[in-house]
A and B are shown apart, each in its own frame.
Chain A
Amino acid sequence: AQSVSQHNHHVILSEAASLELGCNYSYGGTVNLFWYVQYPGQHLQLLLKYFSGDPLVKGIKGFEAEFIKSKFSFNLRKPSVQWSDTAEYFCAVNAHGFQKLVFGTGTRLLVSP
């Protein structure tokens, strides 16, 4: 069975600091990887996704993530965070050709102005 681990449950940063959120998954086959963001009081929005090809993927709002197959990781990064990035971030995985998503437990990011 697939599983996703997000090791940072809460992260507090000052504006302009760099961000890296960890995500590790376990699955023996080919996977699709996703990062979703949930702003306070809102629904989940897709930040970025990786299906194949270049392991460095760029998403919306300046976010990027790197897929490292040997480490089963898909870490999310942003060089300089803004107060508006305060949100909860979820890593998710599904197997190629299958829609069922498995989510991590989420990381709450608080950016102080």
Chain B
Amino acid sequence: NAGVTQTPKFQVLKTGQSMTLQCAQDMNHEYMSWYRQDPGMGLRLIHYSVGAGITDQGEVPNGYNVSRSTTEDFPLRLLSAAPSQTSVYFCASGTVSTDTQYFGPGTRLTVL
């Protein structure tokens, strides 16, 4: 099992550009989520999904879109990047039965 994988590892964008952060898991987990990590603020939930076709907003959803067309993939889209979105982004997955999440390696995004 590869676990939770994220691409790219690093990305630099200019303000206004769009991009998609990829997240995939091969553990057949129902639950997937995206967090952003900022210094002194811990991790904050952006969006989450409890299964294919079902998504919902977390604590800080503005400026981000998600979709879940398959169990394995949960991409995060930035429609028009802003400097405030400079952060490290983590994807996580888990099963409802265990209530435990496992994290990917992260994507470090810089918006200039």
Contact = CB atoms under 8 A, between A and B. Distances in A.
A43 B42 contact: no
A49 B100 CA distance: 8
B100 A42 contact: no
A111 B43 CA distance: 23
B90 A43 contact: yes
A99 B33 contact: yes
Interface size for chain B: under 10, 10 to 19, 20 to 34, or 35 or more residues? 20 to 34
* Chain B binding surface SS class: strand
A99 B48 contact: yes
Interface string A17-35: 0000000000000001010
A73 interface: no
Interface of B: 31, 33, 35, 40-45, 48, 50, 58, 90, 92, 94, 96, 99-106
20 contacts: A9-B40, A32-B100, A42-B105, A43-B105, A51-B99, A92-B43, A98-B99, A99-B33, A99-B48, A99-B50, A99-B99, A99-B101, A100-B33, A100-B48, A100-B58, A101-B43, A102-B45, A103-B35, A103-B43, A106-B42
